[in-house]
Structure 1
């Protein structure tokens, strides 16, 4: 029997035509044993690797042949059609039952591989072998992008499946901890967020799906399978910085944020800077928070007093008073370039360390 261009062995149709002819002759319904046989044959066909579409096509062709081209009454045709539908449904049920454990096993293996790859776990040689089997180049460089949306991403969701179809050039696309991760060869994803390349396309499409709070962060390219974990960590770090510093997306690149990991590399020294320079602000009216917010807005506005006042909802005069108060308490003048650098670095440090909400030693 041939269906959809694939030869289907007759063994998978055993008893089917005989049953339909008896239904046509007597009007009986398929017996439970006959349907159980169809399920068993469906399992065997799945194990042999035949496609379900071709198998169903073979059954439909056999059903047409069962009537032998004869003109039969409508009730007979209806009975045969109903029996054929029941038999094909049972066959498909057995087929899917055979595939279900294999699919679950493959999904579990994929999740384990993704975790090992992104976290850099396991034997490097074995990890490289598994990566090669999934389209990665263990000796090449790869870049990781991570998308965060209002609603968590999940593997197998319609959103993820659609992105997988649209991003057929992406080496790996997976949901992890509610975020969507895209891994690609570094040479394929370079350029800005609006340029060509897999990562640029991923970022654009993910932003369209992510909602108003969506954000995409891209790590730097790194060589080897261990480089995937390094790039992934950088992308996650960029998302964390966005939360701490209020950085606006929709696209963040770890390469543009290298100064911040440098500041936090020596946490004790950064804490000392924050407390030494900004600690006196705690003596201000309302504590350090209002004056620290003033410094943040002032520096984010490019040290333009009118723009900083607008962002804070203050008059320029009120902002100027606050800046003078900061100068008085800290001995650093925010409007003086040399002192401004010290204040701005300490202000960034306070945001990175979440001071004064989190006490510093």
Structure 2
């Protein structure tokens, strides 16, 4: 078969010299030399870059030796030639995939940092419509090698245009359309299955545009931080459920004054303030049910009643009174947020 007989989707010069090289190997019984093998590898790379199907490339490489003499001597040389073509082709494909992955992750990193350079153009390449609302979920406790697996599984279900996954600040970050809440659930499912104990997922609220992605990411990361500071036991924390806490922190002076005014008397309690603070947290978490609070604490209901009476005597506030309960609960939340009393310069 002559090179000019090659199909239209295979450039005429792609396997140029291939038939002659095979004929030489058939005549001498020698295998292709290193230079020839490298030429085959380069041809495989070029075929991949041109989008020539691998099957077409291999078929034509094999067909070039069909009518040559000494087929038995030709077979080892043909095998080496095809192997080099495939190695070049597959290497080029792998390199292209890695470049695409690197570009994708760089895009996500730029997006989360709010770097606006060519964001719209790059977003279009990845199938994102930045005018829409997006939600960001972050997971803590990432183990090496899990990012790629989780990303592949999410893309397999929801499509590459609906999911962006990256690692930032030691968090696994997932960006999905706000109209696709199932993707956040699926992300959490894979984190639960693959991360070691101690994992936690934070979920931001949906926001529009590139700036909205940054906002949702910051909300998700802040939700994790608040959950730690408040000692929450939730595996999944949503920024939408914690909106009161950023409000509290906006006026640190006021919340510090509230905490010290209400809770500083507990520092004089025999046995320390911590058991009393934990009792208040358990009562609030149990919606005022003292028996349920006792079960949470692992103590008797009588012990809870006794502690609440001590709190009332020391502070003058009782969780049984609706107004006082709100003041106490806000003070306890502020204490956890601001690491009272260690985080206060002037605790009495």
Q: When the two structures are superposed, what TM-score results if normalisation uses the length of structure 1?
A: 0.81
Supply the distance in 2 between the matched residues of 1:114 and 1:257 (Cα, whole angstroms): 26
Alignment of 1:41-80 (within 5 A): 41-47=43-49, 49-51=50-52, 54-55=53-54, 57-63=56-62, 65-68=64-67, 76=72, 80=74
Deviation at residue 22 of structure 1 after TM alignment:
4.1
Q: Name the SS of the counterpart of 1:139 in structure 2.
A: coil
Supply the distance in 2 between the matched residues of 1:308 and 1:346 (Cα, whole angstroms): 19
1:192 is matched with which residue? none
1:194 is matched with which residue? none
Does the C-alpha gap of structure 1 residues 10 and 303 become closer, same or farther in structure 2, counting only changes over 3 Å?
same
State yes or no: 1:328 paired with 2:329: no
Is the Cα contact below 8 Å between 1:277 and 1:343 reproduced in 2? yes
State yes or no: 1:182 paired with 2:174: yes
1:255 is matched with which residue? 240
Does the C-alpha gap of structure 1 residues 351 and 158 become closer, same or farther in structure 2, counting only changes over 3 Å?
same
Range 342-351 or range 213-222, more displaced: 213-222
1:139 is matched with which residue? 131
1:351 is matched with which residue? 336
Does the C-alpha gap of structure 1 residues 342 and 360 become closer, same or farther in structure 2, counting only changes over 3 Å?
farther
Q: Structure 1: give runs of 5+ residues left out of the alignment.
A: 190-196
Supply the distance in 2 between the matched residues of 1:252 and 1:344 (Cα, whole angstroms): 20
Does the C-alpha gap of structure 1 residues 153 and 280 become closer, same or farther in structure 2, counting only changes over 3 Å?
farther
Supply the distance in 2 between the matched residues of 1:116 and 1:274 (Cα, whole angstroms): 40
Q: Name the SS of the counterpart of 2:179 in structure 1.
A: helix
Supply the distance in 2 between the matched residues of 1:152 and 1:356 (Cα, whole angstroms): 38
Is the Cα contact below 8 Å between 2:47 and 2:57 reproduced in 1? no
State yes or no: 1:158 paired with 2:149: yes
Is the Cα contact below 8 Å between 1:216 and 1:249 reproduced in 2? no
Deviations 1:59-82 (A, max 9, x none): 34432551439896xxx2xx6444
Deviation at residue 169 of structure 1 after TM alignment:
6.5
1:267 is matched with which residue? 252
Is the Cα contact below 8 Å between 1:291 and 1:326 reproduced in 2? yes
Supply the distance in 2 between the matched residues of 1:161 and 1:269 (Cα, whole angstroms): 48
Aligned partner (choices 15, 25, 47) of residue 13 of structure 1: 15
Deviations 1:120-143 (A, max 9, x none): 2345xx433433343222332222
Does the C-alpha gap of structure 1 residues 279 and 152 become closer, same or farther in structure 2, counting only changes over 3 Å?
farther
Is the Cα contact below 8 Å between 1:289 and 1:356 reproduced in 2? no
Deviation at residue 97 of structure 1 after TM alignment:
5.9
Supply the distance in 2 between the matched residues of 1:249 and 1:169 (Cα, whole angstroms): 30
State yes or no: 1:303 paired with 2:288: yes
Does the C-alpha gap of structure 1 residues 264 and 250 become closer, same or farther in structure 2, counting only changes over 3 Å?
same
1:29 is matched with which residue? 31
Deviation at residue 7 of structure 1 after TM alignment:
2.1
Supply the distance in 1 between the matched residues of 2:100 and 2:122 (Cα, whole angstroms): 13
Is the Cα contact below 8 Å between 1:150 and 1:213 reproduced in 2? no
State yes or no: 1:116 paired with 2:106: no
Is the Cα contact below 8 Å between 1:297 and 1:312 reproduced in 2? yes
Q: Structure 2: give runs of 5+ residues left out of the alignment.
A: none
Deviations 1:173-219 (A, max 9, x none): 22223433232332333xxxxxxx43344344444434543333322
Is the Cα contact below 8 Å between 1:281 and 1:288 reproduced in 2? yes
2:85 is matched with which residue? 91
Q: Root-mean-square deviation (CA), in Å?
A: 3.2
Supply the distance in 2 between the matched residues of 1:150 and 1:97 (Cα, whole angstroms): 29
Deviations 1:271-311 (A, max 9, x none): 22111111121111232222212211222122222222222
State yes or no: 1:229 paired with 2:231: no
Is the Cα contact below 8 Å between 1:150 and 1:212 reproduced in 2? no
Q: When the two structures are superposed, what TM-score results if normalisation uses the length of structure 2?
A: 0.84
Supply the distance in 2 between the matched residues of 1:104 and 1:198 (Cα, whole angstroms): 24
Deviation at residue 99 of structure 1 after TM alignment:
6.3
Supply the distance in 1 between the matched residues of 2:74 and 2:68 (Cα, whole angstroms): 13
